[in-house]
């Protein structure tokens, strides 16, 4: 709904430059873009292409110049969808855990096979503003990093990680980025037991087959606590989490001296999408106004995309990016 509101606001904004907006015009735009025939303006749908054509038509009628040569469209491809292969597993000594017994690749995982020791890096967080760094006292270069999801003090209102509110440091991509920055080859993500509902069996659901995913550049597996215990029986995850959360201090350490084999196999499809942009010539200042025109399709979880609608004022013959 926010995206639709933004889009309509932009159409209204452009209309004020050339004509006085009115209720009939606003209603027409909303009814077209929100109609079921647009299929929720989901990625890869005919409805999204129809919406792009509609927006370009409005730009042309308002007198905006095409931003991309003689076209209002900038075509590109984006990843969409996810398909599991057969080689998703982790093996240590004589034990193997696969997708049926306790691991699952994330939607942003790269495909590949890694052999390396495992190093525990707490919550996988680097947060200088909170004087907290899980990687400060441990070398993960060339290793497989094991870290917990979320952040210290999940239900602690006094936590320096913004109390009970989550910060950007809790995102899985942030953790993957930190591990990669420190030279890790791969990442294992586990739910810490301290705040988990231990009465329910852990279930790792496969990533959606109908979402936008961008490869993070390294293999990433989620793993159950039971699988961690099975592979590394001497590793005390709960004790370490309690220690970290007690005073918000990292407790990173090596889990194995020997190599572990970790494999991820997955494929992604691509779909054709397009940016839509027009130009209003002005003075020396450059003003860029943009918004999404894609939305949630038939109801899948919201995904970040690069699709934008832009009204751009420029001072040269080259459109602003």
Domain spans of the chain, in order of start: 2-78+274-313, 86-264
> How far out from the chain centre does Cα 171 lie?
8
**What is the average pLDDT across 39-64?**
90
Structural tokens at position 175: 């953790």
Q: How confident is the model at residue 222 (pLDDT cuts 50, 70, 90)?
A: very high
**pTM higher than 0.85:** no
Nearest residue to 294 via CA among 47, 20, 27, 111: 47
Do 125 and 168 form a contact (C-beta atoms < 8 A)? no
The packing angle between helices 46-62 and 2-18, to 10°, is 20
Q: What is the mean pLDDT of residues 194-203?
A: 86
Domain 86-264 has CATH 3.40.50.12780: no
As to burial, measured by CB atoms within 10 angstroms (0-12 exposed, 13-18 middle, 19+ buried), residue 321 is exposed
- Alpha-carbon distance of 159 to 123, in angstroms, equals 14
Nearest residue to 114 (alpha-carbon basis) of 88, 139, 152, 94: 88
Instruction: Compute CA 62 distance to the chain's CA centroid, rounded to the nearest angstrom.
Output: 36
Do residues 317 and 300 lie in contact, with contact meaning Cβ atoms separated by under 8 Å?
A: no
Q: Among 49-58, 93-102, 290-299, whose mean pLDDT is lowest?
A: 290-299
Give just the sign of the alpha carbon dihedral 140, 146, 149, 152: negative
User: Backbone phi, then psi, for 278, in 5-degree steps?
Assistant: -135, 165
Return the DSSP state at 152.
Answer: S
Whether 8 has a pLDDT exceeding 60, the answer reads no
In this structure, what are the phi and psi dihedrals at residue 168, rounded to the nearest 5 degrees?
-65, -20
Distance of alpha carbon 305 from alpha carbon 7, whole angstroms? 15
Q: Are 278 and 69 in contact (CB under 8 A)?
A: no
Structure tokens, 27: 């209603």
Contact 224, 192 (CB under 8 A): no
For the cut 60, the answer to whether the pLDDT of residue 83 exceeds it is: yes
**SS3 label, residue 282:** coil
Please give the C-alpha separations between residue 286 and each of 5, 275, 315, in angstroms, as whole numbers.
24, 19, 7
pLDDT at 14: 53
> In the predicted model, what is the mean pLDDT of residues 96-122?
97
In this prediction, residue 17 carries a pLDDT of: 46
Across 86-113, b (16+ Cβ under 10 Å) vs e yields eebbbbbeeeebbbeebbbbbbbbbbee
Q: Count the Cβ atoms, other than its own, within 10 Å of residue 272.
A: 12
Q: Are 104 and 205 in contact (CB under 8 A)?
A: yes
CA distance 275 to 281: 19
Q: How, if at all, do strands 309-313 and 266-279 pair?
A: parallel
Q: Minimum mean pLDDT among 98-102, 202-206, 261-265, 298-302: which range?
A: 298-302
pLDDT score of 274 more than 80: yes
Instruction: Say which residue, 10 or 194, is predicted with more confidence.
Output: 194
**Local confidence band at 163 (pLDDT 50, 70, 90 cut-offs):** confident
Scanning the chain, the segments in alpha helix (DSSP H) are 2-18, 23-34, 46-62, 172-181, 225-231, 237-247
């Amino acid at each position: 709904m926010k995206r639709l509101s933004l889009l309509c606001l932009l159409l209204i904004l452009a209309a004020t430059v050339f004509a006085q907006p009115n209720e009939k015009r606003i209603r027409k735009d909303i009814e077209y873009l929100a109609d079921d025939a647009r299929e929720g303006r989901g990625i890869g749908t005919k409805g999204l292409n129809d919406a792009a054509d509609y927006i370009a038509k409005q730009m042309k009628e308002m007198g905006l110049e095409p931003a991309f040569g003689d076209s209002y469209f900038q075509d590109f491809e984006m990843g969409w969808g996810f398909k599991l292969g057969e080689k998703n597993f982790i093996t240590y000594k004589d034990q193997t855990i696969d997708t049926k017994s306790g691991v699952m690749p994330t939607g942003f995982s790269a495909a590949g096979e890694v052999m390396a020791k495992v190093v525990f890096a707490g919550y996988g967080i680097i947060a200088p503003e909170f004087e907290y760094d899980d990687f400060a006292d441990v070398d993960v270069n060339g290793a497989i990093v094991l870290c917990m999801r979320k952040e210290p003090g999940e239900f602690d209102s006094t936590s320096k990680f913004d109390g009970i509110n989550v910060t950007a440091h809790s995102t899985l991509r942030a953790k993957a980025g930190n591990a990669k920055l420190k030279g890790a080859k791969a990442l294992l993500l586990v739910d810490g037991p301290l705040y988990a509902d231990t009465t329910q069996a852990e279930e790792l659901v496969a990533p959606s087959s109908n979402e936008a995913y961008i490869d993070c550049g390294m293999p990433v597996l989620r793993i159950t606590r039971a699988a961690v215990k099975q592979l590394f029986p001497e590793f005390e995850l709960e004790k370490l989490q309690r220690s970290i959360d007690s005073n918000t201090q990292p407790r990173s350490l090596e889990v194995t001296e020997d190599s572990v084999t970790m494999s991820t196999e997955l494929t992604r499809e691509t779909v054709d999408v397009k940016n839509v942009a027009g130009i209003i010539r002005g003075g020396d200042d450059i003003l860029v106004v943009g918004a999404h025109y894609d939305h949630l399709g038939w109801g899948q979880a919201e995904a970040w995309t690069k699709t934008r609608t832009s009204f751009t004022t420029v001072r040269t013959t080259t459109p602003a990016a």
